[in-house]
């Protein structure tokens, strides 16, 4: 297995119907190497780990195979920590039109189920080092609902379907080819399916055109997870069909976790295997202690007597002359405390390398909240998550380009890519007292704009929207207070005038 996935590069600058089959055929071998690694990591994540094929030469009848699936734990924690709350788009501008358009964009993402797709995509990123997303126009909604409304000049389209459809692809059945020039821009997006007759249907996108052709793969079983068959390329293929593709962008987008495209637990695989091995040997030691061997001194028993000894648990020995017959049990118990110390050390090493917090809670009871977060590894987890955010946002920017293009061509939008900021809503309510104090202090300073206070206190996932709502609430409350004050003043003036009139009448009388 290779550590990290290979980025597929080509020197061509343009993909046409004349060279698409050749390029796909030549790049397929690189993809197959990545596929083998990805499938191994996915199987490892699912619990199919090397310890299950363990063999034992001495006392092979006692051979425990314990899978302590820390890989699944790592991926589950990282995924939940990064995408436990839905990803939101917030406005980078301060105009009301932009904010309302951002709200519509978030509604569209909700309609296409993007939160669940983000979670699935992030899982693949952490397992295989790369995830893949596909975005296509929603032809059914466009033809049946959007176009009729636009033709009839009805109100702007807001129905129960978005004008685009998003998908999370299995990285074992798709890849992206990049140009080897400056910046390495994407050149071709490829995905394929395997039919029941063994034919492989390949779909390729260059941004302007869509190509589809069938090919036979020598050793097609290699494309099926779990089968170790080495393919040797295309055996035959059909001429590609070509269709126009209107978005102008390659709809398959790669989300690499890092430059090496390493999975999150891939760098600690040897330690994870060692933990499984120690735990299996540990259980072997317990069983071997319980099923200890019997040692006979100066006596001999045949096979039938041996079986009787096992079934009855009792044997009768007789000494001959000065030669004393004896029976002892060979037993040596494994030092469980030393074994546990080793396992704890290896597990803590795994947590340190992958950037996960520990669960021992520390031994100090006098630490402050910030100190305990630093001690238990939560600051490290947050730093790793921010690093993963940067990689995710770069690919998300390409995704948004296609989304905005589809929206402009169908329902219309005034949004530009520069108006949108991707926001991960995470840990907004930790240290809430300190964050509230920061907000109050900054709002109390007349030299700091309120939007800066809302942005930098860390309380709000969408600080601009929070500042806007707070300003509206403040103005409304202020107006109500002024109205109440005016009403009370008017009532007081009226009561004073009434008393004055009453006292004047009494004096005349």
Residue owning tokens 């009434």: 498
Question: Mind listing the pLDDT tens digit for each residue in 340-368?
Answer: 888 888 999 999 999 888 876 555 554 55
Round to whole Å and give the CA distance between 207 and 148: 27
**Mean pLDDT value of segment 220-243:** 61
Query: DSSP code of 143?
Result: I
Question: Mind listing the pLDDT tens digit for each residue in 318-335?
Answer: 566 666 665 565 555 566
**Mean pLDDT value of segment 213-236:** 58
Confidence of residue 509 (pLDDT cuts 50, 70, 90): very low
Long-range Cβ contacts of 350-354 (<8 Å, 24+ apart) = 350/70, 350/74, 350/268, 350/271, 350/272, 350/275, 351/377, 352/377, 352/380, 353/267, 353/268, 353/271, 354/74, 354/78, 354/264, 354/265, 354/267, 354/268, 354/384
pLDDT higher for 276 or 149? Answer: 276
β pairing state of 199-205 and 186-194: antiparallel
**Mean pLDDT value of segment 270-288:** 85
Round to whole Å and give the CA distance between 70 and 273: 10
Where are the chain's structural domains?
A: 8-267, 269-300+328-381, 430-501
pLDDT for 479: 87
Residue owning tokens 């096992």: 310
Question: Mind listing the pLDDT tens digit for each residue in 291-303?
Answer: 555 555 556 666 6
- Encoded tokens for 357: 């917090």
Give yes or no for residue 483 having a pLDDT over 60.
yes
pLDDT for 173: 92
Report the candidate in 285, 212, 339 with the shortest Cα–Cα distance to residue 59: 285
- Backbone dihedral region for residue 131 (phi beyond 0: left; psi -120 to 50: alpha; all else: beta): beta
Confidence of residue 186 (pLDDT cuts 50, 70, 90): very high
Task: Catalogue the E-assigned strands of 354-490.
Answer: 420-423
pLDDT for 392: 94
Residue 151 has a CB neighbour count (10 Å cut-off) of: 8
pLDDT for 139: 80
* Percent of the chain clearing pLDDT 90 (strictly above): 28
pLDDT for 230: 47
Which residues touch 15 (CB under 8 Å, ≥6 apart)? 23, 187, 188, 204, 206
Q: Indicate the range of 61-75, 121-135, 181-195, 228-242 predicted with least confidence.
A: 228-242
**Mean pLDDT value of segment 184-201:** 88
Give yes or no for residue 221 having a pLDDT over 60.
no
Give yes or no for residue 148 having a pLDDT over 80.
no
**Mean pLDDT value of segment 208-218:** 82
Quick one: the chain helix, strand, coil %, rounded to 5?
50, 15, 35
Give yes or no for residue 281 having a pLDDT over 70.
yes
Query: DSSP code of 76?
Result: H
Contact predicate 245/396, CB 8 Å: no
Q: Indicate the range of 26-35, 59-68, 93-102 predicted with least confidence.
A: 93-102
Report the candidate in 55, 67, 43 with the shortest Cα–Cα distance to residue 273: 67
Mean pLDDT across the chain = 81
- Backbone dihedral region for residue 475 (phi beyond 0: left; psi -120 to 50: alpha; all else: beta): alpha
End-to-end CA distance of the chain: 112
3-state SS class at 30: helix
Residue 212 has a CB neighbour count (10 Å cut-off) of: 16
pLDDT higher for 249 or 412? Answer: 249
pLDDT higher for 308 or 276? Answer: 276
- Report for 173-177, 237-241, 378-382: range of highest mean pLDDT: 173-177
């Amino acid at each position: 297995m290779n550590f990290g996935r290979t980025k597929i590069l080509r020197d061509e600058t343009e993909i046409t119907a004349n060279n698409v089959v050749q390029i796909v055929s030549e790049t397929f071998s690189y993809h197959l190497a990545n596929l083998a690694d990805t499938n191994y990591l996915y199987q490892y994540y699912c619990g199919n780990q090397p310890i299950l094929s363990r063999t034992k030469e001495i006392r092979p009848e006692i051979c425990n195979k314990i899978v302590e699936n820390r890989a699944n734990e790592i991926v589950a924690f990282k995924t939940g920590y990064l995408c436990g709350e839905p990803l939101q788009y917030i406005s980078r501008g301060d105009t009301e039109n932009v904010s309302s358009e951002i709200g519509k964009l978030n509604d569209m993402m909700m309609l296409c189920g993007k939160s669940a797709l983000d979670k699935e995509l992030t899982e693949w990123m952490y397992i295989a080092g790369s995830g893949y997303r596909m975005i296509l126009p929603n032809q059914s909604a466009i033809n049946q609902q959007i176009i009729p409304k636009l033709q009839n000049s009805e109100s702007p389209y807001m129905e129960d379907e978005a004008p685009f459809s998003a998908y999370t692809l299995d990285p074992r059945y798709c890849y992206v080819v990049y140009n080897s020039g400056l910046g390495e821009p994407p050149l071709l997006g490829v995905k394929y399916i395997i039919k029941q007759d063994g034919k492989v249907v390949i779909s390729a996108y260059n941004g302007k055109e869509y190509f589809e052709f069938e090919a036979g793969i020598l050793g097609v079983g290699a494309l099926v997870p779990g089968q170790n068959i080495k393919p040797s390329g295309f055996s035959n293929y059909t001429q590609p069909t070509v269709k126009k593709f209107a978005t102008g962008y390659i709809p398959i987008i790669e989300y690499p976790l890092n430059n090496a495209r390493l999975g999150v637990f891939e760098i600690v695989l040897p330690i994870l295997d060692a933990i499984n091995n120690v735990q299996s040997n540990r259980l072997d030691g317990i069983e071997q202690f319980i099923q200890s061997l019997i040692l006979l001194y100066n006596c001999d028993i045949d096979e039938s007597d041996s079986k009787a000894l096992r079934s009855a648990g009792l044997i009768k020995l007789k000494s001959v002359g000065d030669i004393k017959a004896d029976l002892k049990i060979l037993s040596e118990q494994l030092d469980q405390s030393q074994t546990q110390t080793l396992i704890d050390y290896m597990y803590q090493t795994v947590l340190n390398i992958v950037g996960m917090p520990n669960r021992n809670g520390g031994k100090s009871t006098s630490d402050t909240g910030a100190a305990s977060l630093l001690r238990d590894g939560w600051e490290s987890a947050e730093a790793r998550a921010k690093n993963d955010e940067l990689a995710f946002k770069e690919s998300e920017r390409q995704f948004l380009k296609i989304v905005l293009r589809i929206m402009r061509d169908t329902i219309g939008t005034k949004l530009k890519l520069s108006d949108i900021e991707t926001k991960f809503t995470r840990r907004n309510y930790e240290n809430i007292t300190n964050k509230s104090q920061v907000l109050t202090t900054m709002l109390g300073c007349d030299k700091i704009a309120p939007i800066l206070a809302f942005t930098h206190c860390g309380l709000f996932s969408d600080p601009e929207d929070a500042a806007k709502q707070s300003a509206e609430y403040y103005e409304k409350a202020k107006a109500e207070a002024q109205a109440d004050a005016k009403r009370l003043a008017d009532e007081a003036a009226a009561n004073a005038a009434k008393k004055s009139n009453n006292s004047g009448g009494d004096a005349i009388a």
